[in-house]
């Protein structure tokens, strides 16, 4: 028996029957399905994390690009801070 009902005609579910067996449909809340589990791939986890990344602050990106092009971005203070952060990460 096909589960497809022509448009405008009530389907088996609308009549209170399960489409495959002809038996009365059961309440979904009353059905126990045991211990279902979902496993996500590493790619799915990565895509989920990417979706959480905030939007790019284009004004900041443009300002830093300009500073790099002009040679004014790298200052001794910024380099010292970067080296300190790297040392902290390695420790």
3-34 pLDDT tens trace: 676 776 665 555 555 555 555 555 555 666 67
The reply to whether 72 falls in a domain is: yes
Cα–Cα distance measured from residue 55 to residue 65, given in angstroms and rounded to the nearest whole number: 18
Query: Which DSSP state fits 53?
Result: S
The reply to whether 64 falls in a domain is: yes
The reply to whether 4 falls in a domain is: no
The pLDDT confidence band at residue 56, using thresholds 50, 70 and 90, is confident
> How many CB atoms are located within 10 Å of the residue 83 CB?
10
The reply to whether 8 falls in a domain is: no
The reply to whether 15 falls in a domain is: no
The reply to whether 76 falls in a domain is: yes
Percent above pLDDT 70 for the chain: 66
Distances (CA, A) of 17 to 26, 70, 84: 9, 74, 70
Domain that holds residue 79: 56-91
pLDDT surpassing 90 at residue 63: yes
**In sequence order, what are the beta bridge partners of 17?**
24
pLDDT at 9: 65
Cα–Cα distance measured from residue 74 to residue 77, given in angstroms and rounded to the nearest whole number: 8
The reply to whether 79 falls in a domain is: yes
Q: How many independent structural domains does the chain possess?
A: 1
């Amino acid at each position: 028996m096909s589960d497809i009902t022509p448009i405008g005609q009530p389907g088996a579910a609308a009549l209170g029957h399960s489409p495959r067996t002809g038996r009365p449909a059961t309440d979904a809340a009353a059905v126990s399905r045991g211990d279902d589990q979902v496993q996500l791939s590493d790619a799915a986890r990565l895509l989920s994390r990417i979706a959480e990344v905030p939007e790019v602050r284009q004004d900041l990106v443009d300002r830093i690009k300009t500073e790099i092009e002009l040679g004014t971005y790298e200052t001794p203070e910024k380099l010292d801070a970067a080296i300190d952060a790297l040392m902290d990460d390695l420790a």
